[in-house]
Amino acid sequence: MSEVDQLCPNCGLCCNGVLFADVKLRKGDDAKRLAELGLPLEKKGRQQAFAQPGGCFDGKLCRIYAERPVRCRTFECGLLKRVQAGELGADAALGTIVQAKRQVEKVCELLRGTGSDDERLALSHRYGRAMSEPVDLSGGETSAGLPGKLMTTYRDLMQTLQRDFLK
Ligand code: SF4
Ligand code: SF4
């Protein structure tokens, strides 16, 4: 079994809007074909892009894997690279993925608690939106403390992602 087969179906963090908010098309991509496959392409500056999490991700795997964009074909996170290089065992990497996903779930729980969550958006956009809302003091101390808790939990997650996946 390849390292990709061992890790990626258990992870999905580069497809589900946690590591990235969008994917920009690159030279070699057929925008017309990708749009036919269901990617909601839009202009981002001079480039075409689609927002994550798009309909291309089924929660575990890419629905259009054989025809996925160039950026998706060429991206390998730091964790995968370290396993491929023999610097880290697959079991240890799977443990890191489980931990990171737990942190994501904690952030999502807090986002749901803010009442301004939209799971169709990338995590960074959901977080930005929640933090820009006025603090609701009607729920007492618990809801008043929510933004601070969300901020520290999100910061911890970003540190994990930077350290384990983006380096
Ligand atoms: S973040 Fe890394 S391990 Fe996770 S799905 Fe993407 S490439 Fe695979
Ligand atoms: S097109 Fe496939 S590989 Fe690319 S972000 Fe979407 S699910 Fe992931």
DSSP for 32-76 reads HHHHHTT---EEETTEEEEESS-TTB-SSSBTTGGG--HHHHH--
Model confidence pLDDT, tens digit, residues 102-123: 999 999 999 999 987 798 999 9
Other CB atoms within a 10 A radius of the CB of residue 125 amount to 16
Mean pLDDT across the stretch 87-93?
98
* 114 and 128 Cβ atoms separated by less than 8 Å: no
Q: What is the per-residue pLDDT for 134?
A: 81
Task: Answer whether 121 contacts ligand 1 (Cβ < 6 A).
Answer: no
Q: CA–CA separation, 23 vs 71, rounded Å?
A: 7
The C-alpha atoms of residue 156 and residue 158 are separated, in whole angstroms, by 5
Can you give the pLDDT at residue 54? Answer: 83
Residue nearest to atom 6 of ligand 1 (CA): 14
Rounded distance between C-alpha atoms, residue 38 and residue 62, angstroms = 12
- How many A from CA of 77 to the centre of ligand 1? 6
**Average pLDDT score, the chain:** 94
Please name which ligand lies nearest the alpha carbon of 72.
2
Spatial CB neighbours of 161, under 8 Å, sequence gap ≥ 6:
13, 18, 19, 100
Q: Where are the domains of the chain?
A: 20-76, 87-165
Counting ligands in written order, the one closest to the CA of 4 is 1
Take atom 5 of ligand 2 and give the residue whose Cα is closest.
15
Q: What is the pTM of this model?
A: 0.93
Whole-angstrom distance, CA of residue 86 vs CA of residue 165:
16
- Residue 161 Cβ < 6 Å to ligand 1: no
* pLDDT at site 91: 98
Q: Which residues line ligand 2 (CB under 6 A)?
A: 15, 23, 52, 54, 56-57, 62, 64, 68-69, 72
pLDDT at 140 over 70: no
